[in-house]
Structure 1
Amino acid sequence: MQNKEFAQNLISQVWWNAWEMSFTENTILLRDNKLPQRQGFTILIEARSCSLTAIFSFESASLNLLEVVNKSIEENRALLQAILHKDQTVRLSLERLAVQENFQDKQHFSQDFKLIIRKTVEAYTEKSLLSFIDLLKTLVLIVFPYKQEVGAITEGRQVEVALSRYERSAKNRAIALSVHGYRCKACDLQMDEKYGAIAHNLIHVHHIIPVSEGERIFDPLVDLVPLCPNCHTIAHQQEPPLLPKQIRELIQKEHGIQIQ
């Protein structure tokens, strides 16, 4: 990294605490310590003058995890494409070797499987690195088998990693924000534009259909929208909550301004 201390301080603040982190002058290596040794994956982040690259690699005994991830990528193809379409500076590459033994129809992927994310940046700055880290966290939550149920990776058994309720909600939040962005859908405020880097990621995610109406599977691209703290508070001043469009109309009526 161009500034090792800068990267270390920044990522330590925004990445998950349970992960092991190691830094050199040019790279950051991340690993989830909740996964057994040799059965997990690593993320190697490299910074260059005009790009940031992350390489997801699988450890020597992680075949079960690898198969689940490959299936997850296929199942979430449309969602991943929506995220990539939102940011034209990002490219996702899959490098995978399919192994077929004794001419059998069934194939499996070797540990040579790599998922590579590249983002073109104008400069290596706090903002560009934070944006890239947000993207990586979203991909981890989408592609890897993080479930609410407590479980572990074992040979021949279901692959699961325990997530807290907060982390489960964070998955939907990350997906929604990766497509909708961090700008309030009601008043058009983006917090870091007003307050600087200290407000990065400071945005609420509003459920169009209230959670209290019962258990349901949310589509985060449809059911969740970003609202600034003020607009989110206003939304819940009545039941059912105000829609972003209604809040926008209130602001326009009160102040005589047009909000795109």
Structure 2
Amino acid sequence: MLTENNASSILRERFGIDVSVNIESFHGNRTITVRPSDLARTVGFKILTKLKWRSVEIKFVPGSFARDLVNAMEASNQNQRAAFKVFAESLLEKGADLNLQINKQSYKPNEPSQWPINWNSIDISMRKGQIIFGEEIDQDFEKVFPWVISFFGLCISLLPLEPIDNENRYSVEEEGEAYIVTNTRYERSNINRAACIELYGTTCKVCSLNFGEIYGKIGEGFIHVHHKIPLSEIDGTYFVDPKKDLVPVCPNCHAMLHKKKPPYTIEELKKKIKNNRFPNF
């Protein structure tokens, strides 16, 4: 059963951002509203999801005084737009009708190189039809929530994130922390991690381990994300592309990938596993 608490926990675990989730069903109107917990409504935004007749509609809604937020999204860098493209292509491939308007003009969401330089406004929305809802409201909310996750990742990827030094970084997460224009601290690496998971899922690309299949609910969605090129070995001008630079791996395989410098490739480690298990083949 999808509740407001576990919905916010899922989003927090995936994106590293505290959010409030409001799930409502009133007089036939069924909605899910997601807001960042630490941004005032007037200067922040919400993700509004409406369950229609056999369809779901989701919209990015900036606050009434969110000009600074729009300006910051306008200034999104190559890394952020690469993550946006990952989520956009994922939604499109799954059959969503995705709409992006900048300055009231339509642009292809998966072609950020064609977007204009100056933004006065941004409108993002999607619709997915041919969704068969049943008689159980709770099951209907669970059915549409994966679309909410993907759309939230799409929007959050354009938020202004800048690196901050952190002496206590997790050993395999080399991007450090980040902050938004409001001085709210987020994990920049979580956005790229979420984009990688959106693209490749949560099954290890080396050994095919899936924690949800082994541990059930407590393992669902758990996975490490490996940087093919360690960020410690490249300069600060390099932008991480989740599609080509990141890959999901289990903690064991992640540790083994880093047993040498530079790390083993995914194919090299898969070959070592095969040779160890089947030495005569």
**TM-score > 0.5, shorter chain as reference:** yes
2:87·2:153 contact (CA, 8 Å) conserved in 1? no
TM-score by length of 1: 0.72
Distance 2:140 2:60 in 1: 22
Asked if the contact 1:82/1:179 (under 8 Å) is kept, the reply is yes
2:114 aligned with 1:94, yes or no?
no
Structure 2: gaps of 5 or more residues: 106-116, 134-138, 165-179
Q: Which residue of 2 aligns with 1:7?
A: 3
Higher RCO (Cα < 8 Å, 6 or more apart):
2
Distance 1:198 1:115, change over 3 A: same
Unmatched 5+ residue regions in structure 1? 100-105, 150-158
1:192 and 2:188 are equivalent in the alignment: no
Structure 1, residues 78-112: CA drift from partner, whole Å, max 9, x if none? Answer: 6544433345223321356649xxxxxx98645xx
Tell me what 1:210 maps to: 230
| Aligned residue type for 1:47 | L
Asked if the contact 1:84/1:91 (under 8 Å) is kept, the reply is: no
Count of paired positions: 235
Instruction: Determine the structure 2 residue equivalent to 1:164.
Output: 185
2:248 alignment partner, one of 213, 217, 226: 226
Cα distance in 1 for partners of 2:268, 2:21 equals 45
Return the alpha-carbon distance in structure 2 between the equivalents of residues 71 and 127 of structure 1. Answer: 34
Equivalent residue for 2:153, pick from 127, 131, 138: 138
* Aligned counterpart, 2:24: 24
User: Matched residues in 1 for 2:118 and 2:242: separation?
Assistant: 33
Superposition map of 1:15-94 within 5 A: 15-16=11-12, 18-25=18-25, 26-48=30-52, 50-70=54-74, 72=76, 80-87=84-91, 88-89=93-94, 90-94=96-100
CA offset at residue 176 of structure 1? 2.1
RMSD: 3.6
For normalisation by structure 2, the TM-score amounts to 0.67
Shift of 1:194: 3.6
Q: Could you tell me which amino acid in structure 2 is paired with residue 241 of structure 1?
A: P
Deviation at 1:44, TM superposition (A): 0.9
* Distance (Å, rounded) in 2 between the aligned partners of 1:80 and 1:178: 11
> CA offset at residue 70 of structure 1?
4.9
CA distance in 1, matches of 2:220, 2:31: 23
